[in-house]
């Protein structure tokens, strides 16, 4: 597998690993819940909310990859770029660039 030197080069690969709309939906649900827990953390400084954010974000995304898309999450090889990709795809879903329904 190619090693990406920039997020700009990585993102097309990232999107290609999310071909099925229900994989994107699982990411969208997980990211939404993780944002909720990150807000709860900011308001309370309870570090358990960081754990909940990670579990919800990755949990939903990985279910989508393993059971819907049937591929390995890019997180395993590109953790930082994948995290950025999650939020970029999330914003693009909100903008209507990716259909999830």
Taking only the tens place, the pLDDT of each residue in 37-57 is: 999 999 999 999 999 999 999
Q: Average pLDDT over the chain, rounded to whole?
A: 96
The answer to whether residue 78 sits within a structural domain is: yes
The answer to whether residue 12 sits within a structural domain is: no
The answer to whether residue 37 sits within a structural domain is: yes
**Residue 56: which domain range?**
21-94
What pLDDT does 2 receive?
A: 75
With a cut of 50, which residues of the chain have pLDDT below it?
none
Among residues 78, 96, 98, 79, the alpha carbon closest in space to that of 27 is found at 98
- Indicate the DSSP class of residue 65: I
- 10 Å Cβ neighbour count for 3? 8
What pLDDT does 12 receive?
A: 97
């Amino acid at each position: 597998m190619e090693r990406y030197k920039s997020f700009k080069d990585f993102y097309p690969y990232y999107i290609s690993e999310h071909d099925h709309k229900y994989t994107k939906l699982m990411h969208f649900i997980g990211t939404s819940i993780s944002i909720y827990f990150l807000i709860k953390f900011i308001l309370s400084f309870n570090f358990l909310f960081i754990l909940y954010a990670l579990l919800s974000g990755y949990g939903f995304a990985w279910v989508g990859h393993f059971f819907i898309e049937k591929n390995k999450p890019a997180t395993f090889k590109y953790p930082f770029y994948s995290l950025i990709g999650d939020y970029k795809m999330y914003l693009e879903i909100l903008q209507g660039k990716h259909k999830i329904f």
